[in-house]
Structure 1
Amino acid sequence: CNSGKLDLIFLIDESTSVLENDFDGIKVWLRNTISSFPIGEEYTQIGLATYSDNPRIIFHLNKYHKLDDIRKAVLEVEHTSGGTATGKAILYLTNNMFTHENGVRPNAKRLVVVLTDGKSQDDVIVPSRIAKESGIVMFAIGVGKVVMGELRAIASDPDRYVYKINDFSALESIRRELSHSIASLESQGKTSTKEQGQAGELQLLEFQKGVQKMMNFLEKLHRTLQIGFKILQVVRKSRN
């Protein structure tokens, strides 16, 4: 089914290192980028979240269906501050914004554009993998002193969906290329049922492996404690 529908969410770093003027520039860039797409329930839906130490949902995919309303909502976003927990934000977005009740359409392509200006203080590899395995196409934009390895780990295609710029004033220089890359996915429609099933199987397999590792660890710990207890009993008896 090639519906041409996009469910597109922008995840924006608002940590302390992002200055107020830079954040204002991001909002202008967001307004211009969003204006590149046909907005509506049958076309492109836009969601927005920011993050520092914790993620903050600004609006869900089904909140606005008119371009002017989205542009206005973007301008009204206030800048906060804090650390840079990119992985936490990606995982939260995957679990809480890409849901049916928050506007996700079963026949739409799901995309996330992550914009950050620094090294994440947590792991981005596992959250990004979970997002991609759930059918989300990930783009990564790094500004300034970012870690390219993290950007490449976030992006679905490290060679095509990673953008590195020196400062926020250069955001406009990548807007057209980013918009074209996103638009090229529009005709692909939704992720197939087979792909979704494979992604679900992979997630289940990873979970099962994690549980098994934990069980093995607990079993070894239990045996070690038993041995330690027996040694302690022997020592106590020898002292008596």
Structure 2
Amino acid sequence: MELLEDTFLENVTQFICKEKKCPDYSCSIQFNTSTDITFLVDSSTSVGNKNFETTKTFVKRLAERFLDAKVKAAVRLAVIQYSKNQEIEVQFSDNYGEAAERINQMVFMNDATDVGAALSRVIANYRDNSRNAKRKVLLFTDGRSQGDLVHNIEQQAQAVKAANVDMYVIAVGDQVHETNLRALVAGQAIDYDIDHGARHLFRVKDYPTLLKGVFYQTISKQMSLN
């Protein structure tokens, strides 16, 4: 499966954004119901500190888009970074300034990767701190997790779904675990729903590409629509 290129992303954003006044492929987003969104940021050794810092910048761009969105009800954001362990860096908040400051202060963990435990932490945080709102999580991963088999990933993804959390995944690089990515997005690796995957699985060739073109607009628009 090919990685998304800037030209393709621009075409997608042009199609999604119907507003005539949108300059430079910039389009507004709107949430029609209260929504709690979690960014689950990969802070494992394989990412590297430089790419981790790039991810922080990208998350701030998305956070600003989400919290500046036209809303009929409130949008709140949480940020959790994970490697072998997890750390809640931003608890659900609608204050971009405070969220951005805490994101800036995030320190690279530089440890092994445990996606399953990270998703369990997301579920627990929604259970303890969310409200009567839509629940969405944006997971940064290459699909690889220390010691996790595909079956374990499927079980954890199904637990996320059972907690009424809608999973979105950003897969970075071409050395990804494709089967695990499908399991994360769909809850199963077999009988993968391509249409669902197209709306929930986003691919970039490397971390610098996160900050190029309109990728952050495409992600935010798609997450606000579903």
Q: TM-score, normalised by structure 2?
A: 0.73
Aligned match of 1:167 in 198, 201, 206? 206
Whole-angstrom CA distance in 2 between matches of 1:181 and 1:31: 17
Does structure 1 retain, via aligned residues, the 8 Å contact 2:90–2:99?
Answer: no
1:105 aligned partner: 131
Letter in 1 for 2:218: E
SS in 2 for 1:160: helix
2:145 aligned partner: 120
Does structure 1 retain, via aligned residues, the 8 Å contact 2:48–2:110?
Answer: no
Letter in 1 for 2:84: D
Instruction: Please say which structure displays the higher CA radius of gyration.
Output: 1
Q: TM-score, normalised by structure 1?
A: 0.69
SS in 2 for 1:60: strand
Structure 1 residue 52, shift from structure 2 partner: 0.8
Bigger RCO of structures 1 and 2 (CA < 8 A, at least 6 apart): 2
Unaligned runs of 5+ in 2: 1-30, 187-195
Whether 1:79 and 2:105 are equivalent positions in the alignment is no
Aligned match of 2:78 in 43, 47, 52? 47
Matches within 5 A, 1:13-162: 13-38=42-67, 42-61=73-92, 64-94=93-123, 96-99=124-127, 101-102=128-129, 104-106=130-132, 108-117=133-142, 119-121=144-146, 122=148, 123-144=152-173, 145-156=175-186, 157-162=196-201
Aligned length: 178
Matches within 5 A, 1:194-233: none
Residue-by-residue CA offset, 1:137-169 (whole Å, 9 max, x unaligned): 000111122112212211253232111212101
Whole-angstrom CA distance in 2 between matches of 1:91 and 1:69: 25
Does structure 1 retain, via aligned residues, the 8 Å contact 2:64–2:96?
Answer: yes
SS in 1 for 2:65: coil
Whole-angstrom CA distance in 2 between matches of 1:169 and 1:3: 32
Structure 1 residue 38, shift from structure 2 partner: 2.8
Does structure 2 retain, via aligned residues, the 8 Å contact 1:14–1:81?
Answer: yes
Structure 1 residue 177, shift from structure 2 partner: 1.2
Structure 1 residue 79, shift from structure 2 partner: 0.6
Structure 1 residue 23, shift from structure 2 partner: 0.9
Does structure 2 retain, via aligned residues, the 8 Å contact 1:33–1:175?
Answer: yes
Whole-angstrom CA distance in 2 between matches of 1:155 and 1:139: 7
More deviation in 52-61 or 13-22?
52-61
Does structure 2 retain, via aligned residues, the 8 Å contact 1:140–1:152?
Answer: no
Whole-angstrom CA distance in 2 between matches of 1:71 and 1:55: 19
Letter in 1 for 2:207: F
Whole-angstrom CA distance in 2 between matches of 1:141 and 1:54: 20
Does structure 2 retain, via aligned residues, the 8 Å contact 1:10–1:112?
Answer: yes
Structure 1 residue 118, shift from structure 2 partner: 5.2
Structure 1 residue 119, shift from structure 2 partner: 1.2
Whole-angstrom CA distance in 1 between matches of 2:216 and 2:181: 17
Whole-angstrom CA distance in 1 between matches of 2:38 and 2:185: 14
Taking a change above 3 Å as real, the CA distance of residues 93 and 168 of structure 1, as seen in their structure-2 partners, is same
SS in 1 for 2:40: strand
Structure 1 residue 172, shift from structure 2 partner: 2.8
